């Protein structure tokens, strides 16, 4: 072995050692976050799954587990209350997310070219996003109030209704009222994401398409929409995750009522777990909810992808 190559191997060995040291440091820096995430999210998720296969009772010595196979799931899937909640959650989420994306896109397109006061506008749009949902629920509760709510006053003065309506007291209007409160709070968030997506599209594309004789409709479907799909997918996913787990809004605004008209899966899970103290069955509801949310995300992404490809073709 020549002197030169010996020096080289030594050098590469030193580099290798340095790299190993860096790798060690990398693991060290990753560890605190990793440990917290594993302990507070992964462990409980696995534990929830185990719980859902057990009969759990609260004894003086704490919680007693007794394996009972898939009985909790039999209870859950055999219960019309669960299917009612699941159905409500799905159509609530689908309707609100669709309306938010649709109006969010229309509004973003309309105001994209308004250059004045953009900072102020964005600040105002961010306030509902940062607003505590419980506060917005109380606010809407007062607006919808059946005796002295401002909605009744406005609707009456426009002669839309003859006398005050208890909006939250009837199934259909309560569901719509809850959807409106949700749409009010989250559409601005969707607009902000889509607006910044729009502003990242280079003007050259539009000019090139115009020179080729594209009309506004074609400009939208051939340029704007394909280039905006990342932003739309992001906003849609954010919203789907929140809408399928909806809890705060019905908890305060409708308490899941009237009856169980607005009882979302999260509300049902909460009641089963912390009001009825049926931990095993509640865990089965929670696990089913998670599976539903994962499915919803996959369906949204798959459906969205095929829609984008179709339009681009």
Partner 1 sequence: MIQPRWQKILGYVVLIAFLLAILFPFYWMFITSFKQDKEISAYPPQYWPTNPTLSNYREAFVQYGFDHYMLNSVIVAVLTTFFVLFFASMAGFSIARLPIPWKKPILIFLLIISVFPPIAVITPLYMLLRDVGWLNSYQALVIPYTAFNLPFSIWILRNYFLQVPGALFESAKIDGSSVFQAYYKIFLPLTRPGLFSAAVFTFVAAWTEFFMALVFNSSNSMRTIPVGIALFSGQFNVPYGTIFAGSVVSIVPIMILVVIFRKWIVSGLTQGAVKG
Considering only residues 17 to 46 of the shown chain, the ones binding partner 1 according to CB under 8 A are 19, 21-23, 25-27, 29-30, 32-34, 36-37, 39-45
Question: Residue 210 interacts with partner 1 (CB under 8 A)?
Answer: yes
Q: For the CB of residue 1, give the shortest distance to partner 1 in the complex, in Å.
A: 28
Using the contact rule CB under 8 A, the part of the chain among 3-11, 76-84, 92-100, 280-288 near partner 1 is: 280-288
Question: Residue 165 interacts with partner 1 (CB under 8 A)?
Answer: no
Angle 80-111/171-198 helices, nearest 10 degrees?
40
Q: Out of 10, 123, 171, 218, name the contact with partner 1 by CB under 8 A.
A: 123
Q: Out of 90, 94, 143, 201, name the contact with partner 1 by CB under 8 A.
A: 143
Q: Out of 85, 136, 254, 262, name the contact with partner 1 by CB under 8 A.
A: 136
Q: How far is CA 268 from CA 33, 94, 156, 197, 207, in A?
A: 32, 19, 36, 37, 53
Compute the CA torsion angle 145, 265, 261, 71 (nearest 10 deg).
Answer: -150
Cα angle 90, 76, 239 (rounded to 5 degrees) comes to 25
Helix (H) or strand (E) holding 260: none
Please name the residues in contact with 196: beta carbons below 8 A apart, sequence gap of 6 or more.
231
Give CA–CA dist 181/191, Å, rounded.
16
Q: For the CB of residue 69, give the shortest distance to partner 1 in the complex, in Å.
A: 19
Using the contact rule CB under 8 A, the part of the chain among 4-12, 86-94, 264-272, 302-310 near partner 1 is: 264-272
- Name the residue among 84, 105, 78, 60 with its Cα closest to residue 232: 105
Using the contact rule CB under 8 A, the part of the chain among 15-23, 74-82, 167-175, 300-308 near partner 1 is: 15-23
- For residues 221 to 260, the per-residue mask of contacts with partner 1, x marking binding by CB under 8 A and - elsewhere, is ---------xx--x------x--xx-xx--xx--------
Are 118 and 198 a contacting pair, CB within 8 Å?
A: no
């Amino acid at each position: 072995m020549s002197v030169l190559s010996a020096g080289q191997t030594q050098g590469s060995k030193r580099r290798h050692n340095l790299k190993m040291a860096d790798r060690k440091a990398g693991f060290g820096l990753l560890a605190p976050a990793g440990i917290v995430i594993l302990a507070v999210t992964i462990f409980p998720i696995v534990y929830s799954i185990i719980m859902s296969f057990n009969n759990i009772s609260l004894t003086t010595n704490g919680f007693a587990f007794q394996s009972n196979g898939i009985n909790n799931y039999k209870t859950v899937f055999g219960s019309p209350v669960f299917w009612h909640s699941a159905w409500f959650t799905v159509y609530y989420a689908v309707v609100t997310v669709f309306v938010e994306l649709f109006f969010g896109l229309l509004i973003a397109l309309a105001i994209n070219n308004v250059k004045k006061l953009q900072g102020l506008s964005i600040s105002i749009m961010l306030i509902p996003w940062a607003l505590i949902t419980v506060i917005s629920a109380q606010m809407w509760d007062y607006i919808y109030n059946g005796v002295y709510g401002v909605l009744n006053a406005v609707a009456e003065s426009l002669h839309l209704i003859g006398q005050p309506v208890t909006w939250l007291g009837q199934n259909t209007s309560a569901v719509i009222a809850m959807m409106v409160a949700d749409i009010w709070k989250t559409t601005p968030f969707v607009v902000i994401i889509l607006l910044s997506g729009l502003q990242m599209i280079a003007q050259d594309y539009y000019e090139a398409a115009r020179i080729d004789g594209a009309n506004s409709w074609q400009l939208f479907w051939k340029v704007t929409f394909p280039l905006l799909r990342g932003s739309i997918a992001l906003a849609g996913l954010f919203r789907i995750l929140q809408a399928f787990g909806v809890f705060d809004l019905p908890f305060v605004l409708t308490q899941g009522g009237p009856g169980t008209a607005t009882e979302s899966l999260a509300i049902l899970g909460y009641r089963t777990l912390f009001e009825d103290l049926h931990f095993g069955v509640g865990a089965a509801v929670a696990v089913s909810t998670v599976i539903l949310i994962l499915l919803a995300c996959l369906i949204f992404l798959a459906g969205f992808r095929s829609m984008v490809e179709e339009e681009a073709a």
